[in-house]
Amino acid sequence: MCGRSSLTKTEKEIEKRFHATFYSEELERYNPLPNYNVAPGSFHPVITNQDPEYIHLYKWGLIPFWAKDKKIAYSMINARAETLMEKPAFKNAFKHNRCIVPLDGFYEWKNINGQKIPYRILTSDQAIFSAAGLWDKWVSPEGEIIFTFTIITVEANAFMQNLHDRMPAILFPEEEKIWLDNSIKEGDLKSLLDPYPSELTTAYRVSKEVNNARNNYPELINESTD
């Protein structure tokens, strides 16, 4: 599972990393950066297969186009790579609506002496990395339009298994274009969804203040022993 993450870099750093541009009106409306504690329901940058030269701000928690109620989003923050072609919520999106989700870290909790201790996980080779994701467009009965996304997860690598049995499907930079390429076959796309190498994964303990999704300030990503 990936239920909390961070993206603490500037707009310009993200644009440079992904060779894509933010829509200024979306930045002004949602003002999502920097975000030290990205939680489900947050607006967050994504780059889609339909508009790869631009960075959109979509809401975390997928609402399939056919959903009757937007509350389904809270159970759709992640999609397991192994069952993308089996779940109705993800099957169509995997074929037609893929995205990459820029991150610079994500959080998991380790049980130590009965306490859940938060850790921030990074990639040692990428200051800003991306997770493979899916997106969709939902229109409510009243005509409200909401764009949403989910993060794909895979089995944890050996390093992560000490913290959790799942992790985001992190892509290498050269794989991002393939993931967004509409001409690539589904089997080739699924081959990209592997655990990120253990030797390129790092983690450190952070403050329990990150447990509260309302907390969002720079000190949350500092190393901590509390």
- 18 domain residue, yes or no: yes
Mean pLDDT, residues 84-90 taken together:
92
Hey, CA dihedral for 214, 215, 221, 223, is it positive or negative?
negative
- 169 domain residue, yes or no: yes
Give how many domains the chain has, as a whole number.
1
- Using pLDDT thresholds of 50, 70 and 90, give the confidence band for residue 1: low
**Domain extent at residue 25:** 5-106+127-198
Q: What is the CATH number of the domain that holds 54?
A: 3.90.1680.10
Separation between Cα atoms, residue 148 and residue 192, nearest integer Å: 22
- 220 domain residue, yes or no: no
Bridge partner residues of 45 (DSSP):
57
- Using pLDDT thresholds of 50, 70 and 90, give the confidence band for residue 13: very high
- Average pLDDT over the chain reads 95
- 222 domain residue, yes or no: no
Quote the percentage of the chain above a pLDDT of 70: 100
Single pTM value for the model: 0.96
State how beta strands 54-60 and 145-155 pair.
Answer: parallel
Which residues carry out catalysis? 2, 108
- 27 domain residue, yes or no: yes
- 120 domain residue, yes or no: no
Residue 107 pLDDT exceeds 90: yes
Nearest by Cα to 202 from 153, 174, 167: 167
- 115 domain residue, yes or no: no
Q: Tell me which H or E stretch contains 29.
A: helix 24-30
- 118 domain residue, yes or no: no
